Amino acid sequence: MAAPDDLTLWYDEPAIDWETQALPIGNGALGAMVFGGTGTEQLQFNEKTLWTGGPGSRQGYDSGNWTAPRPDVLSEVREQLDREGTMAPEAVAARLGQPKSGFGAYQTFGDVWLDLPQGSPTDYRRELSLREAVARVAYTAGGVRHERDYFASHPGNVIVGRVSADRPGQVSFTLRVSSPHDDKRISVADGRLTMRGALPDNGMRFEAQVQVVVEGGTRTDEADRITVTGADSAVFVLSAGTDYADVYPAYRGEDPHDAVTAAVDKAVEQGYEALKRAHQEDHQALFDRVRLDLGQRAPEVPTDRLRAAYGGGDSADDRALEALYFAYGRYLLIASSRAGSLPANLQGVWNDSTAPAWSGDYHVNINLQMNYWPVGPANLAETAQPYDDYVKNMVAPGERTAREMFGARGWVVHNETNPFGFTGVHDWATAFWFPEAAAWVTQHLYEHYRFNGDVHYLRETAYPVMKGAAEFWLDTLCADPRDGTLVVSPSYSPEHGDFTAGASMSQQIVWDLFTNVAEAADVLEVDTEFRERVRDALGKLDPGLRIGSWGQLQEWKADLDDPGSTHRHVSHLFGLHPGRQIVADSPEAAAARVSLAARGDGGTGWSKAWKINFWARLLDGDHAHKMLSEQLTHSTLDNLWDTHPPFQIDGNFGAVAGIAEMLVQSHHGVIHVLPALPSAWPTGSVSGLRARGDVTIGVSWRDGAAEQITLHAGRTGEITVRAAGAEGVRDERGDEVVAHRSGDTLTWSARVGGSYTIGTPA
Ligand code: FUC
């Protein structure tokens, strides 16, 4: 095994527990959790489309749409809210909700087991190299060094394992596959094990194949297992699929057999070395773009002990954990979200259960959006493609829900959804109603455009779904009898308090959507009449920014906030992050700070990750770092997964975005360098972050101040940089560039492909 580096998770014992100890590999569609046992090796694996529920479900499937028309019910709720001000969630759910039917759940596919000769292993090591995207296990037994390597290849759509030893003829094991799904058959022929079946709930067909290839020794096929004896090494290749298709309304496509067979055949033909090379090129093209140096060095203790000893102080080991956690979040997004499959769900792609928490689904009242926060700033644009496809595919079912439930144009989705276009409601009183979700899920598409400046993408991908979401709100906003402004009603601040009209988050989300869609229509020079309607509504919209009696930013239109509430959702700060409605140093930002301080530093894993971003946007690096420390100390498992509890991957992704926000911000058209650098990071550097306007940026700093800033312009246009003490701008030839200075900001005209350097006084 190669010498460890600073971006490797490692342990000196096998994993026993899936959730806290096993190590994840994945290629977006396929995922596996590696345990690294010495007597028995376990690889639990997933394929992201294997879901119960949806069309054909035994329970009956209604997409969450009301099973019978309820013509007056929405207006009755609105009238009651206008009369009484608030309604209990249970009362609203009784009128507008409906029990879930056939929603389904994400399923584990099964496990690959290797039964190995027992020995007394010494010098054990299990690791996950983030740079290589390879999980490894190594130990010595009977004087032989054994090693196993695993990776999940996106180009090959396979999971690959290699079993080797440092002496010839020492590799022996039996490979078998199991699965909790009843209706399956396992067969073996020519070293290939096939497991095939259909889920009893919805008839979804699934198939996995594993091919074993030996070098030296013998391979013996049995009825349901393959035994390797006395080989020099052996490789196994696994692929899996289902007959799911992301096409409304049936969501079914081809039988998976041909695609799985072709993937395994091709991988076997390619051979291990070529597969691994292609995998690493693919992974490193994304992973290597960003480097973060906080003064870490390769830690001398295993990752579980590194985490247990973490204190958020000023030791190099603490920096090592923080830098590792940042890199791990980027690794996890690459491993769980690649083109051609569904987006990362609540657990990315990893799930060992048939009944995971919250169905392992797509919650769109925070969680799915959070998963994609790192995409822009942390330079992982490619990972958003499944998200874009998923959002586009929600439009057709969402139009039906908008029409049937609201009598509105456009499209809508509520609190949570699945791969089968569940855009309606359920009846969990504090989480069933959230029509703002459609507007919010389109935010990322516009942000994608803001980062990369790609007008074609804006026209073809982002704008149509944004426009549909905006049409819905143009038809659905209500005039508030209190002051005549346009409000969302009924409106519910996620999972907190009563229903009201015009809760701050609802208003801020609609503000964000209308602002974005009007800007987009300007850029595209389309839809003049629609643009006018949007701008007119924006002018009448209650902006959802009110400062209350104790100086807080109000969560509701009426001043109902309890200063003692430490609820994990801090939804009314949406305009601070992920929105851009609140500007740092404004009265609203000061009020947001009061609200945030009152909510405290606790919360579930994802809640802490939100707070890293909030404090960073409030330009308070020390508090942002405090939240990172809280997350690492109290909401991080030994395998560095975020825990809600249970394991929920949004916290990993939210923290990556938060760290990026501490180093560079660009949401207001100015590239603010080191806006929230904590005192715990006095010296360091980062390269490869992205700023809006198609700029790639790096910065090195010393004693808390930027030393050198480098920017690479992806397009021709103006760049404005804000950096304390910035001197002039030089181009790649070292020539001074004419820049306009105003305080700490410098503005100049950049050329596509140009590289610029800004120094600060030594
Ligand atoms: C939201 C949160 C919960 C949990 C769930 C998956 O509803 O409020 O805390 O994260 O999503």
Per-residue pLDDT reduced to its tens digit, 121-155? 999 999 999 999 999 999 999 999 999 999 999 99
Determine whether the shortest distance from the Cβ of 432 to ligand 1 is under 6 A. no
Q: Which residues are 179's β-sheet partners?
A: none
CB-ligand 1 contact for 369 (6 Å cutoff)? no
CA 128 to ligand 1 center in whole angstroms:
29
Name the least confident of 125-134, 309-318, 343-352, 531-540: 309-318
Ligand 1 pocket test target in 495, 569, 610, 652 with most atoms within 8 Å of CB? 495
- Does the beta carbon of 607 lie inside 6 Å of ligand 1? no
Q: What number does the ligand 1 atom closest to the CA of 358 have?
A: 6
Q: Is the CB of 644 under 6 A from ligand 1?
A: yes
Within 13 Å, how many C-alpha atoms sit on residue 338's CB side? 22
DSSP track, 542-610? -----B-TTSPBPSSSSS---TT---S--GGGTTTTT--SSPTTSHHHHHHHHHHHHH-S-S-HHHHHH
Q: Is the pLDDT of residue 554 over 70?
A: yes
CB of 367 sitting under 6 A from ligand 1: yes
Cβ–ligand 1 distance for 365 under 6 Å, the answer yes
Residues written for the chain: 762
Report the atom number in ligand 1 closest to the C-alpha of 357: 6
- Percent of the chain residues topping a pLDDT of 90: 96
Does the C-beta of 495 come closer than 6 Å to ligand 1? yes
CA 279 / ligand 1 centre spacing (Å): 34
* Ligand 1 pocket member 632 (CB < 6 A): no
Distance 357 CA to ligand 1 centre (A): 10
Locate the ligand 1 atom nearest the alpha carbon of residue 604 and give its number: 9
Cβ–ligand 1 contact at 694 (below 6 Å): no
pLDDT of residue 194: 98
What's the CA gap between 16 and 283, in Å, rounded?
Answer: 28
Q: Is the CB of 358 under 6 A from ligand 1?
A: yes
Closest ligand 1 atom to 607 CA: 9
Question: Would you say residue 761 has pLDDT above 80?
Answer: no
* Per-residue DSSP letter, 381: G
Q: With a cut of 70, say whether residue 561 has pLDDT above it.
A: yes
CB 492 within 8 A of CB 437: no
11 CB less than 6 Å from ligand 1?
A: no
Query: Is 488's pLDDT higher than 60?
Result: yes
Residue 443 beta carbon below 6 angstroms from any ligand 1 atom: no
Average pLDDT of the chain to the nearest whole number: 97
Asked if 730 contacts 737 with a C-beta cutoff of 8 angstroms, the reply is yes
**Residue with CA closest to ligand 1 atom 8:** 495
346 within ligand 1 shell (Cβ under 6 A)? yes
What atom in ligand 1 is closest to the CA of residue 367?
Answer: 11
Give the per-residue pLDDT at 730.
Answer: 96
pLDDT, one tens digit per residue, over 200-242 is: 999 999 999 999 999 999 999 999 999 999 999 999 999 999 9
Interval between CA 757 and ligand 1 midpoint (Å): 43
Ligand 1 probe mutation, 106, 367, 416, 432, most atoms within 8 A of CB: 367
* CA–centroid distance, residue 525 to ligand 1 (Å): 39
The finding on whether 414 has its CB within 6 A of some atom of ligand 1 is no
CA–CA separation, 57 and 100 (whole Å): 12
Choice from 351, 366, 370, 415 to test ligand 1 binding pocket (greatest atom count within 8 A of CB) = 366
- Ligand 1 centroid, distance to 435 Cα (angstroms): 16
Distance from C-alpha of 116 to C-alpha of 114, rounded to nearest angstrom = 6
Residue written as tokens 């770092």? 625
Q: Which of 346, 358, 371, 566 to mutate to test the pocket of ligand 1 (most atoms within 8 A of CB)?
A: 358
* Distance (Å) from CA 521 to ligand 1 centroid: 34
Helices (H) and strands (E) in the chain, counts: 17, 32
Contact between 293 and 282 under an 8 Å Cβ cutoff? The reply is no
* 631 Cα to the center of ligand 1, angstroms: 16
Any atom of ligand 1 within 6 Å of the Cβ of 571: no
Q: What is the pLDDT of residues 663-692, one digit of tens each?
A: 999 999 999 999 999 999 999 999 999 999
Instruction: Provide φ and ψ at 3, rounded to 5°.
Output: -60, 145
- pLDDT classification of 725: cutoffs 50, 70, 90: confident
Contact 303, 11 (CB under 8 A): yes
Q: How confident is the model at residue 698 (pLDDT cuts 50, 70, 90)?
A: very high
Model pLDDT, residue 183 = 86
Other Cβ atoms within 10 Å of 277 Cβ, number: 11
Nearest alpha carbon to residue 192 among 222, 163, 157, 215: 222
Report which residue type is found at 477.
L
Cα 637 to middle of ligand 1, angstroms? 18
- What's the rounded Cα separation, in Å, for the pair 692 and 690? 7
Residue 530: phi, psi to the nearest 5? -60, -45
Residue 347 in contact with ligand 1 by CB distance below 6 A: no
Candidate of 436, 571, 644, 649 to mutate for ligand 1, largest count of ligand atoms within 8 Å of Cβ: 644
From the CA of 697, how far away is ligand 1's center (Å)?
34
> Is 762 a residue whose pLDDT tops 70?
no
> Which atom of ligand 1 sits closest to the CA of residue 361?
6
Of the ranges 281-285, 297-301, 409-413, 594-598, which one carries the lowest mean pLDDT score?
A: 297-301
HSE toward the beta carbon, residue 751, CA cutoff 13 A: 9
Q: State the Cα–Cα distance between residues 485 and 494, nearest whole angstrom.
A: 22
Average pLDDT over residues 436-453: 98
The answer, yes or no, to whether any atom of ligand 1 lies below 6 A from the CB of 515, is no
Distance 88 CA to ligand 1 centre (A): 20
pLDDT tens by residue, 28-37: 999 999 999 9
Helix axes 385-401, 463-476, angle to 10 degrees: 30
pLDDT at residue 314, as a whole number? 87
Give the number of the atom of ligand 1 that is nearest the alpha carbon of residue 569: 8
Is a pLDDT exceeding 60 seen at residue 3? no
pLDDT at residue number 757: 97
Q: Can you tell me the distance from the alpha carbon of 186 to that of 197, in angstroms, rounded to the nearest whole number? A: 9
Pocket residue to mutate for ligand 1, from 106, 351, 363, 650, most atoms within 8 A of Cβ: 363
pLDDT at 113 over 70: yes
| Non-local CB neighbours of 454 within 8 Å, separated by 6+ positions | none
Q: What is the 3-state secondary structure (H, E, C) of 450-487?
A: HHHCCHHHHHHHHHHHHHHHHHHHHHHCEECCCCCCEE
* Nearest by Cα to 199 from 236, 143, 142, 242: 242
* Rounded distance from Cα 369 to ligand 1 centre (Å): 12
Closest ligand 1 atom, CA of 494? 8
756 CA distance to ligand 1 middle (Å): 43
User: What is the DSSP secondary-structure string of 383-450?
Assistant: GGHHHHHHHHHHHHHHHHHIIIII--SS----SEE-TT---S----TTTS--TTHHHHHHHHHHHHHH
Q: Which region holds residue 262: left if phi is over 0, alpha if psi is between -120 and 50, else beta? A: alpha
What percent of the chain clears pLDDT 70, i.e. is strictly above it? Answer: 99
pLDDT at 605: 96
Q: Is residue 74 scored above 60 in pLDDT?
A: yes
**Is 609 close to ligand 1, i.e. is its CB under 6 Å away?**
no
Q: What pLDDT, on the 0 to 100 scale, is given for residue 46?
A: 99
Ligand 1 centroid–CA 419 distance in Å is 18
Looking at residue 1, what is its pLDDT? 55
Q: How far is the CA of 58 from the centre of ligand 1 (A)?
A: 27
Decide whether any atom of ligand 1 lies within 6 Å of the 570 Cβ.
no
Whether 182 contacts 200, CB under 8 Å: yes
Ligand 1 probe mutation, 347, 436, 568, 606, most atoms within 8 A of CB: 606
Q: Which atom of ligand 1 is nearest to the CA of 606?
A: 10
Q: How far, in Å, CA of 322 to CA of 451, rounded?
A: 25
For residue 492, how far is its CA from the centre of ligand 1 (angstroms)?
15
CA torsion sign, 310 to 316 to 319 to 321? negative
- Residues 489-509 have pLDDT tens digits of 999 999 999 999 999 999 999
Å from CA of 614 to ligand 1 middle: 18
